[in-house]
Amino acid sequence: MELIAKISKGTLMDQVYLPKNRTSLPTGSYVILKPLASLIQKEEKITLNFHGIKKIEPIKLEILDKIIRTIKKNVQNYQNIIITGSFLNKGFNFNDLDILLISDYPISTESLSKTLDTQIGIKMHILSISNKELLEGLNSDPLYELMLSECISERKFIYKTHKNPNYKLLDLHLLNSKVIIDNFDILNGKDKYNLTRNLIAIKLFLENKRLNQKMLTNFIIKEFDLSGINNLKENTLNKNAFLEKFKEIYQKLFNRIIQEVSNDSK
């Protein structure tokens, strides 16, 4: 039994009063008095590490702090927590939150997602991945490099990469971007931006260039002769000029990737 009581000032001695109606600590018992503050554990400070991001809204920092604390309470034996995706962009135009949970042990991401969703109220996409798998992804897949070019992590990380393209995987990524060619008129600006960014990420990756969001944005504006990236995001494009350039880039990438896939299969 534990009781919290206040020290009262007496005439000769200060005293602590306990209620008579108690289930333990009978009269005559010896007890230890300690300051309540010494029994309260100080909450561990969470330090966030920014990669490719200069600042983020204070309310988002509070959300990230709560996410990391919740994961720490529910998951053991992980190496790092990495938050990425549109949540980190300026403003609040996001639908969910992407989390990479780096661990060499299996983790029930479905259960963890439900816990985070219940406590925080934002839909979570959690990918449990080992350091080895992440490094392999960075070496072979431009989407991994792009994903980590702007992120926030619980702990610092450095990955030394040596590009080794997975051409079969790149073929699948490229096929996704073909949707623009076949369905230009029914796609919205956000879809066109994402699919164009995917196309250019593959191109720059195969040219052995380091990927980040700023580089992609500048390259898209220049390559497609846009006045700004909002031409694409807001769907205010010159359809014929855009598609002509898009098809040209797509076909060159397709030819190269198919040639490499054929060479690998020999």
pLDDT tens by residue, 103-156: 998 888 888 888 888 888 888 899 999 999 999 999 999 999 999 999 999 999
Domain ranges, ordered by start, for the chain: 49-153, 167-265
The per-residue pLDDT for range 154-186, each reduced to its tens digit, is: 999 988 888 899 999 999 999 999 999 999 999
| C-alpha span between 121 and 49 (Å, rounded) | 24
Q: Give the domain 49-153 fold.
A: GMP Synthetase; Chain A, domain 3 (3.30.300)
Q: Which amino acid is residue 17, in one-letter code?
A: Y
Contacts of 19 (CB under 8 A, 6+ apart): 3
| C-alpha span between 81 and 122 (Å, rounded) | 17
User: Tokens at residue 56, please?
Assistant: 């983020």
Distances (CA, A) of 3 to 8, 13, 29, 39, 42: 15, 21, 14, 13, 21
Distances (CA, A) of 34 to 4, 10, 14, 81: 10, 19, 15, 37
In this prediction the pTM is 0.76
In this predicted structure, the answer to whether residue 40 has a pLDDT above a threshold of 60 is: no
